[in-house]
Amino acid sequence: MEYDISDLRLAEKGLKRIEWARQFMSVLTQIEKRFGKRRPLRGIRVSACLHVTTETANLLRALKGGGAQVALCASNPLSTQDDVAAALVKHFRIPVFARRGEDRRTYYKHIQSVLEIRPHITMDDGADTISVLHDERTDLLPGTIAGTEETTTGVLRLRQMEKKGVLRYPIIAVNDADTKHLFDNRYGTGQSTLDGVIRATNILLAGKHVVVSGYGWCGRGIATRARGMGAHVTVTEVEPVRALEAMMDGFRIMTIRDATRLGEVFITATGNTQVIRREHFQGMRDGAILCNSGHFNVEIDLGALRSIAKKRRVVREHVEEFTLRNGRRLYLLAEGRLINLAAAEGHPASVMDMSFANQALSVQYAVRQAGRLENRVYGVPKEIDIEVARLKLASMGVKIDTLTAEQQRYLQSWESGT
């Protein structure tokens, strides 16, 4: 079996951590049991380009248990947990191509390696394998059945491809399932982003002025959690409705320009490029901390930051100090990459449980539908979403009411009024 990882000797540590995460992934574990009995993925080859974490390891176990042949590469150069990569290779015989801190060339080489399995199904977090397949490995396109996409940024790109008529196989937008983005993006990113900031810096959040750019589901989660820890939170947004929501949720809203003078910690979560730029850096306070929680490292203009710095040095792991010509020091965390995965461990397992249950069931659905889907971006079928919510509630020991026959009739009627 071919693989490329940092250190196979880390496998025992990785195995323990994977087992720890598994305890919190009860929905996925139930699906894994079903898959183990019925083997619905027998003969199916799945290439996965995901963050190499303990949660991803449990997803791959479930897919493999369902009969799939799987191979894994990283969806970000800085998010790989090397011990997990080692455990997957040694204990689960899953080929992994990922090394934490790999350079861009190696990152793309690893995507090519994973594609060597000639996937029927691609599984992405950020659409990188889909891009490579469409640009460089078009020979593999006829063999694909479908792909799944985990994240907002990836789904946006794929919808653009669909719109332009260049998408060459069907995609299931896992991100868009309610049981994914309402929980993973909000509570998962919310908590793990602050976890990353704290692990990187050990700052006290209480009383700090935190500026969150973007009030999508991730931004909401971050802003809410930061407020919960006692920070004064300001939100910047470009969409009027979202800005209004943030305002009425009790946050201050201002332009990023105005916020630069105020902020002590800046966190971007917009999915867009150049959110914090040269003119903003110049106006920031001495000691301001900058980080990003969006998928790509483009939200903070790193080129501009480097070009206006007279001095740069790493002051602790994941923290780089930039001294500007005006004498002020700015601190960039985790090279502007996803702070929650680079400096912490990503979203907790109990929320990834729902995201990855959606992934596993979407793969099963796509295989069942083979040949019947068009080259479009599809939502996760509503039944899957409801099934995931039901299983999650049951695993938490929570019971909910059901409609009486009378209530069902009422909802289907229009006759009775005031």
Q: Tell me if 292 contacts ligand ADE by CB under 6 A.
A: no
Q: Tell me if 55 contacts ligand ADE by CB under 6 A.
A: yes
Subset of residues 31 to 50 that bind ligand ADE, contact rule: CB under 6 A? 50
CB of 17 to ligand ADE, least distance (A): 11
Q: For residues 245 and 188, give the distance between their C-alpha atoms in angstroms, rounded to a whole number.
A: 20
Is 199 or 347 the residue whose CB approaches ligand ADE more closely?
347
Query: In what helix (H) or strand (E) does residue 320 lie, and over which residues does it extend?
Result: strand 319-324
Q: Tell me if 191 contacts ligand ADE by CB under 6 A.
A: no
Task: Give the distance, in angstroms, between the CA of residue 224 and the centroid of all CA atoms in the same chain.
Answer: 18
Q: Tell me if 51 contacts ligand ADE by CB under 6 A.
A: yes
CB of 91 to ligand ADE, least distance (A): 18
Q: For residues 149 and 379, give the distance between their C-alpha atoms in angstroms, rounded to a whole number.
A: 10
Question: Under DSSP, is residue 155 helix (H, G, I), strand (E, B) or coil?
Answer: helix
Is 13 or 137 the residue whose CB approaches ligand ADE more closely?
13
Subset of residues 309 to 368 that bind ligand ADE, contact rule: CB under 6 A? 341, 346-347, 352
CB of 85 to ligand ADE, least distance (A): 13
Q: For residues 389 and 123, give the distance between their C-alpha atoms in angstroms, rounded to a whole number.
A: 22
* Secondary structure, 3-state, 326-339: CCCEEEEEHHHCEH
Question: Under DSSP, is residue 114 helix (H, G, I), strand (E, B) or coil?
Answer: helix
CB of 179 to ligand ADE, least distance (A): 15
Site string for ligand ADE, 125-164 (x = CB under 6 A): ----------------------------------------
Name the token pair of 137: 């490995």
Q: For residues 297 and 26, give the distance between their C-alpha atoms in angstroms, rounded to a whole number.
A: 33
Query: 189: buried, middle or exposed (CB in 10 Å: 19+, 13-18, 0-12)?
Result: buried
Q: Which of 29, 56, 144, 213 binds ligand ADE (CB under 6 A)?
A: 56
Q: Which of 47, 53, 129, 152 binds ligand ADE (CB under 6 A)?
A: 53
Q: Which whole-number Å values give the CA distances from 241 to 160, 238, 247, 375, in the listed order?
A: 23, 9, 10, 32
Binding-site ranges for ligand ADE (CB under 6 A): 50-51, 53, 55-56, 188, 341, 346-347, 352
